[in-house]
Amino acid sequence: MADVITRRDLNLFSEGTRIGAALFTPAGDAPAGGFPAVLLCHGWGGLGAQLERYAEVFASDGYAAMVFDYRGWGLSDGRIIPDGDTPPLLEAGVQTLQVRVLRETVDPIDRAEDVVTCLNFLGTEPGIDPNRIGLWGTSYGGGHVVHVAGHDERVKAVVAQIGGFGFPPSYRDTARARAGDKVRGNFQPVVPQAGLDGVPGLRGTPDIARMAAHSQLGGAARVHVPTLIIDAEFEELNNRLEHGWAAYMMIRQNAPAAYHTFPCKHYDVYSIYFDASMRLARDWFIKYL
């Protein structure tokens, strides 16, 4: 496939944090208006490298396709905070400070900013059509792309597969208590690390205080662009009727929308139904992007 597509590794900056990314484009010169583009967003503990096979398919079909790592994951820098009883930062400029680097935190608010960072790149990159940018997201990233599409008019079409779109109401009180602990510095570091509030079988530490303050379904209610929702019929990580189906029912009131399920569990979409899910996504972008 190397003879039909090209790859360029990138370092971007998301609110000052370096983000590792890769851009795949069809070989040869861009058309007069630029290539249409698809930004691919992974889920809870996923990495951009795991989505390169998807990006290569899109690039071979004539799209610019971009993958990236959320801040604190993969090739992206971690978030930096002062460590312990360091002196207050009351002067601007370069200083020497003992810091703590945070890695593998699952924070949907930071992640949404990272998605927008990548949109900022694609929307200003020579050879890419800024009026034909789509989002493709999987797992928790499915919720991210719908949320961003509901808040950023540059997004023209969306595919969200096996997405997570909400925070369990039963954990609201716990999340609010955790927010109080964070603001008082009752645990160190003040941003959750080392598996605090972790989910069995999922990599990374969820910041449940931030999750409870972020509504991906609220973003779905604002989406006005064509959106395809793909779900696993026997989804085991959440109740798909309260997530993907609920998002679809909101979006369909304001935009062309479709809902498709495969007869499988969550992770089977990446293996058994890889080809079938890619066909659905490609057809959707061909029609609407």
> In this predicted model, what pLDDT tens digit does every residue of 20-72 receive, in sequence order?
999 999 999 999 999 999 999 999 999 999 999 999 999 999 999 999 999 99
Residue 28, number of CB atoms within 10 A of its CB = 9
Q: Compute the average pLDDT of residues 78-102.
A: 88
Structure tokens at 39: 């930004």
DSSP per residue, 219-275: HHTT--S-EEEEEETT-SSS-GGGTHHHHHHHHTTTS-EEEEEESS-GGGGGTTTHH
Nearest to 50 by CA among 31, 32, 33, 73: 73
What's the pTM? 0.95
Task: Walk me through the domains of the chain, giving residue ranges and CATH numbers.
Answer: 5-86+95-288 (3.40.50.1820)
pLDDT tens digits, residue range 183-224?
998 888 888 888 788 888 899 999 999 999 999 999 999 999
Q: Where are the alpha helices (DSSP H) in the chain?
A: 52-60, 108-122, 140-149, 172-184, 208-212, 216-220, 244-251, 274-288
In which band, very low, low, confident or very high, does the pLDDT at 1 lie, cut at 50, 70 and 90? low
Q: Compute the average pLDDT of residues 86-97.
A: 88
Residue 214 is predicted with a pLDDT of 92
Q: How many CA atoms lie within 13 A of 180 on its CB side?
A: 6
Q: Compute the average pLDDT of residues 70-87.
A: 91
Q: Compute the average pLDDT of residues 127-143.
A: 98
Residue type, 110: D
Percent of the chain with pLDDT over 90: 83
By DSSP bridging, strand 99-102 and strand 79-82 are antiparallel
- Count the residues in the chain: 289
Q: Is the pLDDT of residue 240 over 60?
A: yes
Rg over alpha carbons for the chain, rounded to the nearest Å, is 19
Residue 114 is predicted with a pLDDT of 98
Q: How many CA atoms lie within 13 A of 134 on its CB side?
A: 28
pLDDT tens digits, residue range 159-189?
999 999 988 888 899 999 999 999 998 888 8
In which band, very low, low, confident or very high, does the pLDDT at 87 lie, cut at 50, 70 and 90? confident
Q: Compute the average pLDDT of residues 79-102.
A: 87
